[in-house]
Amino acid sequence: MFTIEHEFDATVITLVDDGEVPLQEDVIITAFAECVTVTQYDARTDRVQTVTLSPAQQRDLGAALDLPEGAYKLRPETGQG
């Protein structure tokens, strides 16, 4: 299950683990113009862990989800078809 909220300066997506036990903590993805953050509460440390991705890293992650093993470098978008 997930939710999407559009806020003033960001889009917030929350991924809720509603599958089989044991369940993981919610993952919150916040997309700003300049970066994307991924946060999740870590019960072992009693802290929220955060990873920050640049727009290029976000683009590469999206592409990587649909590719086989290997090393890749995406071409910059030129705006030409």
Q: Distance between alpha carbon 34 and the CA centroid of its chain, in Å?
A: 14
Give tens-digit pLDDT for 7-56. Answer: 999 999 999 999 888 899 999 999 999 999 999 999 999 999 999 999 99
Token code pair at residue 17: 């683990």
The full 3-state SS of the chain, as one line of letters, equals: CEEEEECCCCEEEEECCCCCCCCCCCEEEEECCCCEEEEEEECCCCEEEEEEECHHHHHHHHHHCCCCCCCCCCCCCCCCC
79: left (phi over 0), alpha (psi -120 to 50) or beta: left
> Model pTM?
0.80
Domain ranges of the chain: 2-64
